[in-house]
């Protein structure tokens, strides 16, 4: 099901000639407005390591925390470990989350 906004945009574009679109786009570009990105906001990206605990669960752990992760995994209780690290869990298979890479 298309969103209402997507349908409105489609309707506008279906009724706009390429020349009309180009004129509007030039005006927008002249004002320094950038086009929307299809990628997520990259301002808050952090470098992470993909790690697996001793029970086989996958996590994306910020680089600066990976040693703590292994220490907690090796020496802490499973209950304390899960409470502390659940926000970094992929929820199972690593393929359950969308990853982005600069290649």
Q: What is the mean pLDDT of the chain?
A: 79
pLDDT at 46 exceeding the cut of 50: yes
CA distances from residue 18 to 21, 23, 80 in whole angstroms, order as listed: 5, 9, 60
Range of 39-48, 79-88, 91-100 with top mean pLDDT: 79-88
For 8-39, the pLDDT digits (tens) are: 777 777 888 888 877 877 777 777 666 555 55
pTM for this model (two decimals) = 0.54
- The helix (H) or strand (E) run that includes residue 48 is strand 48-52
Where do the domains of the chain lie? 1-36, 48-96
Beta bridge partners of 48: 62
């Amino acid at each position: 099901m298309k969103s209402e906004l997507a349908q409105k945009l489609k309707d506008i574009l279906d009724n706009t000639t390429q020349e009309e679109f180009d004129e509007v786009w030039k005006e927008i570009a002249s004002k320094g407005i950038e086009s929307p990105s299809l990628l997520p906001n990259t301002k808050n990206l952090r470098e992470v390591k993909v790690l697996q605990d001793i029970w086989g669960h996958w996590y994306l752990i910020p680089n600066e925390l990976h040693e703590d992760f292994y220490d907690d995994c090796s020496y802490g209780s499973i209950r304390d470990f899960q409470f502390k690290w659940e926000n970094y869990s992929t929820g199972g298979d690593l393929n359950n989350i969308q990853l982005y890479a600069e290649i």
